[in-house]
Structure 1
């Protein structure tokens, strides 16, 4: 965290009734919260105002599909976690189910619609290092990514209390002071006993309805049994076992965040995005994006986008009420929860 933002007053009147707490103390409690396990049902909804991209189906069998899936519509998932390295996420889609689970020794990815399953043996790792689960369906991970954006340009206050999944929660509100971001505010509903974020609501700078909301509709903080994280494929399901990787597998993240440092990846390439800027003004850059130039669906889509140019070159700006992207003629893409001008400023300072 770059620094401590402006802290608001102690909450005075709220319902349900909870002891008064300062924003500084509540923030500290959230950042140090730790539970041995939990399980529950998570509901997410998103309306970022993204224009439809021709040729992109939003399927779940690719990283781009997982991103577009989370950035639109409503989704429900059953989740379970147990320290240090057990996790299970079951996403329910139109009478079908997709499961990702690991017991710390093996990991499974299963799609009931395709009747396919992939099994991986999880390599040894340092004790205490948790296995990563799909972050778009974990309110704690989504909350952390916004908490990491807190800097002196962030106002932090307690805006009241509410009931989430039948539990009493404080409302911790993060309000960016900078005009470089499209985020108006982020509110975390924080459990009053465990200090775990139960819900995250993101409001755009314009409008009163949340652009993104993800939270528990039911939750238990009892540690799930070991059998929760085992998986047996149904009869007739095709199972593949790819070659064991040398590092622990990660599930693609659906919310932009600072990537782990991995020296084998080249910064800015499709395999190694670069994060430019800090906090609310962070921009993700990817190099080597190929535009066909053959008049296909993507080119038709970009034809209607605004053309911009500057010291960084020439390109197209794709805008929405939350996510904006700059696609340059030399194959670079800059994207983030920032204004179009912030994208161009980042492009001007970015390495070629």
Structure 2
């Protein structure tokens, strides 16, 4: 199946980025930069990335996110808002994580921030979620003979390979794709695969993936906004080894005094997710059929980079007070054939909150957002 024939998907930018669509212009590569690597076409590089497979890896990942989100006054001190403040901290700023993977069912992510640790690990039979700041841990017993893969039971926000593959499975002719050179990432030679939207309606200027020249595993993902010279998102390895980690790397023993909660993961048919994801974890969501919209589930309007997600049943009345209410009070009021509401914008994300309880969000310009709202089913 050709690249342009792959099923199209929409990535919701909850924490980092992700409306991505398209390969059309697969130009030849001019790899005339250090390090010196054999010339490869974008089409061939895409094929290698899609089929890349390693038995294990371990390393340190650094993420830097600046979506230009507006500050919410009083967030840190407001009653009940500490959790929201922590979410904002996770989806903005710099973070470091240690990651490990061993085929077929072992994975570990340990996020280190402000002298605290948040850890997720799975040894194939059980999984642990641990927060040192709260001194709490949850042990999840996985179903017997579970075939769940680590990427379905652990946060993917710190896995450049998972994020890159989500992006690449969503490309179609609305994107120019080319190999723009080579670079060193975590001491390894890599090709730079650059994706550029062919529309001026998106706030995304480009997405560049650094692809390891030996394993074909993505080592770094960089998202540039349409305006400005600083990355909106950069996620990549600062060190990496492709040796298979030992089984003991995935075991966890709670420190003394930590509160432990035991839970059993229900069968796949009974659950939408295996383990709560890291707040702000980018998630791959298939679009619903046109004209359908269930409360809390997104309906996609538009295609490719111009895609906008609509969620019905938002409790906008609950946003009238507190810090979020203060933010919306300062947001511009807008109106159109779709109705009236408030619009919040940043250099990457635009959100429209309508008075009738709908929320529209996308990596698009405010005008594009309102145009999508006008086309949305009531």
Contact 1:267 1:274 in 2 (8 A): yes
CA drift of 1:179 comes to: 1.7
CA drift of 1:348 comes to: 2.5
Contact 1:91 1:97 in 2 (8 A): yes
Contact 1:55 1:298 in 2 (8 A): no
Structure 2 counterpart of 1:288, from 286, 302, 313: 313
Map of 2:298 onto structure 1: 273
Structure 2 counterpart of 1:185, from 199, 206, 220: 206
CA drift of 1:194 comes to: 0.5
Map of 2:345 onto structure 1: 319
Map of 1:114 onto structure 2: 134
* 1:305-324 deviation line (CA, Å, top 9, x unaligned): 12112222211110010111
CA drift of 1:129 comes to: 4.4
1:92–1:293 distance in 2 versus 1, CA, 3 Å: closer
CA drift of 1:277 comes to: 3.2
Contact 1:111 1:117 in 2 (8 A): yes
CA drift of 1:55 comes to: 5.8
Q: Distance in 1 between matches of 2:55 and 2:82?
A: 31
Structure 2 counterpart of 1:216, from 237, 250, 265: 237
Structure 2 counterpart of 1:299, from 306, 325, 336: 325
Give the gaps of 5 or more residues in structure 1.
none
Map of 2:56 onto structure 1: 37
CA drift of 1:188 comes to: 0.4
Map of 1:249 onto structure 2: 274
For 1:27-106, list aligned pairs within 5 A: 27-54=46-73, 56=75, 68-106=88-126
Contact 1:276 1:350 in 2 (8 A): yes
Q: Secondary structure at the match of 1:135?
A: coil
Aligned residues: 347
Structure 1 counterpart of 2:39, from 20, 38, 62: 20
Contact 1:183 1:204 in 2 (8 A): yes
1:60–1:46 distance in 2 versus 1, CA, 3 Å: farther
CA RMSD, aligned part only? 2.6
1:294–1:341 distance in 2 versus 1, CA, 3 Å: closer
Contact 1:84 1:131 in 2 (8 A): no
CA drift of 1:135 comes to: 1.5
Q: Distance in 2 between matches of 1:44 and 1:81?
A: 18
* 1:139-158 deviation line (CA, Å, top 9, x unaligned): 11221232233211111111
Q: Secondary structure at the match of 1:24?
A: helix
1:251–1:128 distance in 2 versus 1, CA, 3 Å: closer
Is 40-49 or 24-33 further displaced after alignment? 24-33
Q: Distance in 1 between matches of 2:319 and 2:276?
A: 32
* 1:182-205 deviation line (CA, Å, top 9, x unaligned): 100011000000111100111110
TM-score, normalising length: structure 2: 0.84
Give the gaps of 5 or more residues in structure 2.
1-5, 9-21
Q: Distance in 2 between matches of 1:66 and 1:124?
A: 35
Q: Distance in 2 between matches of 1:250 and 1:206?
A: 37
Q: Distance in 1 between matches of 2:299 and 2:329?
A: 26
User: Which of structures 1 and 2 has the larger relative contact order (alpha carbons within 8 angstroms, sep 6+)?
Assistant: 2
Q: Distance in 2 between matches of 1:12 and 1:199?
A: 18
TM-score, normalising length: structure 1: 0.90
Q: Distance in 2 between matches of 1:28 and 1:102?
A: 30
1:293–1:171 distance in 2 versus 1, CA, 3 Å: closer
